[in-house]
Amino acid sequence: MIRFYAKDFITTREGLIFAVVSNGVEDGKVLCFLRYIKTGQRWNKADTDHANQFLAQNYPHYLYFSQQLDAHLHAVSIDSIYRHHQPRHRLSEIMNSSRHAMGAEYDCFQLCNQLQQHNVPLEQVGVTGSVLVSLQNDLSDIDLVIYDRKVFFQCQQAFKSMLHVGLLYPLRESDWVFSYQRRDCELSLTEYVWHETRKLNKVVFNGRKVDISLAQLNENSATTHFSKQGEAVVQATVMGDYYSYDSPSVYDIDHPDISSIISFTPTYTGQAVRGELIEAAGKLEQSSDGHVRLVVGSSREARGEYIKVIQHA
């Protein structure tokens, strides 16, 4: 049986490329978001607004309301998929090839060789983003996805060691500004950089930015339904951060009415640790069994929504 996981990509029969955003399927459809549109001979990356407008005008059947997530996103039926792009398969292809496309693909090969030398098992690592679908250019990042929590933390420690000996470098000021502008988040640049620099998930290798993210391989089997309850801004202490690097990120909090904060946007992955006082803005959701959570990231850009530390541990 074919399995679909967050960070995979799919190409439809019409030639549209979607990023998978949730493990498993819902009603025979893969939950995803349109990422690349071909115009003539040129591929263009689509932001949220452009993707929604393009589909509404041309392929409205890919617009979807998820009952499971109580959210508008995109979905592709399995029989409409022309190609399934899988990060681990793509990285294995790169590592086992005797020839590489110069640029991001070759840098990915070199970087992963170094990670192996720092005892990171590559069978739990894949490459996503533009390299996954072979649409990288001279400015492309390397987006690695890790499929095991222990290996993800091993990779962080490998980055730390490689930074120390000069195999990797911290992001430059211009890199942070570019990253901040791409994220289009609600934090100030100073707030964004402060939170990001302590995560050890962004570095520079051979002049190219590298990101790592954690993706778990469990299928979405939960049938809990969540209903929207309006917007809220809360302050609370983080009581649990075990799933803070997952997708979605989960922060258990000490709050009289809200049990957790859930983030669906990578900007707020690993944003806070246990014991820190945070402020978060998002949308309240209540589960069918009465639990209330605050969701940050109702769109990729998460406009008006954020998580930030106001008193660190």
**pLDDT, tens digit, 9 for 90 and up, residues 33-45:** 999 999 888 999 9
Q: What is the pTM of this model?
A: 0.87
Locate tokens 């209903």: which residue? 227
**DSSP secondary structure letters along 178-221:** HHHHHHT-SS-HHHHHHHHHTS--EEEETTEEEEEEE-------
The domain limits of the chain are: 9-85, 87-214, 226-311
CA distances from 304 to 277, 281, 296 (A): 20, 7, 9
Return the pLDDT at 1. 61
**pLDDT, tens digit, 9 for 90 and up, residues 189-238:** 999 999 999 999 999 999 999 999 998 777 544 556 777 888 999 999 99
- What mean pLDDT do residues 99-120 have? 93
Class for the domain spanning 226-311: mainly beta
**pLDDT, tens digit, 9 for 90 and up, residues 43-83:** 999 988 899 999 999 999 999 998 877 788 999 999 999 99
Sign (positive or negative) of CA dihedral 193, 195, 196, 199: positive
Return the pLDDT at 300. 56
Range with the largest mean pLDDT of 7-11, 101-105, 300-304: 7-11
